[in-house]
């Protein structure tokens, strides 16, 4: 028997329950992974709450983890039982002691990358990879604004941007998070609970503002983020922590300086096994080189999954949060 987290309806953290289940036999083209560590992300909260509707109940939750291949289905050629693997996409159900998913979503996990590091880094790290290396290929000397700079994605972005010579201005909510972001490589930080973000960006950049704004907050920061951009700057809205951005008036982009806007996701970049593995390889290389250290701020057992979700939504976490099956 194995343990899986399930939800039977959308709602708060109280809808999360741990149940015992027999491991599935993987179907054709699929692999069953014995999870050693599981990544937890804000997108999991969106699914639990219903912002991203779940098609049927009961349902598993989570899409990120790392572990050992237990069994393979017909037609699987890239992996065998005993292989170390990691994943960031696929069907819901990563919150558990095992997970079945198509082999196209798996990447081989090098021996020098731990399971915990992989579970903490796959979704967030590949997100940073596409944000900094594909959505806008940042260059040394660029100035960018990154919201939630001490969070899971932000903690990696601070380091990766610093390694590329990019001046990253990170927004944070406490002095402690500001110190953490600077320690990780942020060029400057802004405490949005105490400072005027737009005015502070203008001061830091001598009025030039930012080439790119990376915004995972959504509704609450939309207008502010646009005001932090230089003319013809790029607004990258890649999350909805405060709720989705709605009712966008395109004319405002012209009014604020012929701005560009994109709403990307990992699924739009990791579109083939080859692209997925290439992105993961670049992530593993910056981790291996020491340019990016994956901070695991919190570890929770599956039994404490509700507590883990509450800590995330109440912004009481730093770095990545992982579940241990």
Per the CB < 8 A criterion, the answer to whether 290 and 313 are in contact is no
Looking at the chain, which residues constitute the CATH 3.40.50.720 domain(s)? 140-263
Q: Does domain 2-121+270-324 have CATH number 3.40.50.720?
A: no
Q: Distance of alpha carbon 107 from its chain centroid, rounded? A: 17
Which residues have CB under 8 Å from 100's CB, separation 6+?
A: 24, 26, 27, 30, 31, 32, 33, 91, 93
Write down the pLDDT at residue 183.
95
Write down the pLDDT at residue 103.
96
Looking at the chain, which residues constitute the CATH 3.90.180.10 domain(s)? 2-121+270-324
The candidate with the shortest Cα–Cα distance to 274, out of 129, 106, 73, is 106
Write down the pLDDT at residue 102.
97
Write down the pLDDT at residue 244.
76
Write down the pLDDT at residue 128.
97
- The low-confidence residues of the chain, meaning pLDDT below 70, are none
**Positions of E strands within the chain:** 2-6, 17-21, 30-40, 65-72, 84-87, 98-102, 106-108, 143-146, 167-172, 188-191, 210-215, 229-237, 260-262, 296-301, 320-324
d(C-alpha 253, C-alpha 62), whole Å? 35
The candidate with the shortest Cα–Cα distance to 147, out of 48, 250, 219, 203, is 219
Write down the pLDDT at residue 174.
92
d(C-alpha 17, C-alpha 49), whole Å? 14
> pTM of the full predicted structure?
0.90
d(C-alpha 123, C-alpha 87), whole Å? 8
Architecture of domain 140-263: 3-Layer(aba) Sandwich (3.40)
């Amino acid at each position: 028997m194995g343990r899986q987290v399930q939800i039977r309806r959308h709602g708060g953290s109280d809808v999360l329950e741990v149940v015992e289940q027999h491991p599935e036999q993987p179907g054709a083209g699929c692999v069953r992974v014995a999870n050693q560590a599981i990544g937890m992300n804000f997108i999991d909260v969106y699914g639990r709450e219903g912002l991203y509707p779940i098609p049927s109940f009961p349902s598993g939750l989570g899409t990120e983890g790392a572990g050992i291949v237990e069994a393979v289905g017909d037609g699987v050629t890239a992996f065998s039982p005993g292989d170390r693997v990691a994943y960031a996409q696929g069907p819901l159900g990563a919150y558990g002691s095992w997970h079945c998913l198509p082999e196209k979503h798996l990447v081989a996990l090098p021996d020098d990358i731990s399971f915990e590091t992989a579970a903490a880094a796959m979704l967030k790290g590949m997100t940073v990879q596409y944000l900094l290396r594909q959505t806008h290929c940042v260059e040394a000397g660029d100035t960018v604004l990154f919201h939630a700079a001490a969070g899971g994605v932000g903690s990696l972005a601070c380091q990766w941007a610093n390694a590329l010579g990019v001046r990253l201005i990170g927004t944070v909510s406490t002095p402690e998070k500001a110190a953490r972001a600077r320690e990780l490589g942020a060029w400057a930080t802004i405490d949005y609970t105490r400072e005027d973000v737009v005015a502070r960006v203008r001061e830091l950049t001598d009025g030039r503002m930012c080439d790119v704004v990376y915004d995972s907050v959504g509704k609450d920061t939309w207008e502010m983020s646009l005001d932090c951009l230089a003319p013809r700057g790029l607004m990258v809205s890649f999350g909805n922590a405060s709720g989705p951005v709605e009712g966008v008036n395109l004319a405002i982009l012209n009014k604020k300086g012929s701005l560009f806007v994109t709403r990307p996701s990992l699924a739009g970049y990791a579109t083939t096994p080859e692209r997925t593995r290439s992105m993961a390889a670049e992530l593993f290389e910056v981790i291996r080189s020491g340019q990016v250290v994956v901070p695991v701020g919190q570890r929770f057992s599956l039994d404490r999954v509700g507590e883990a979700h509450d800590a995330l939504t109440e912004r009481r976490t730093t770095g990545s949060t992982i579940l241990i099956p």
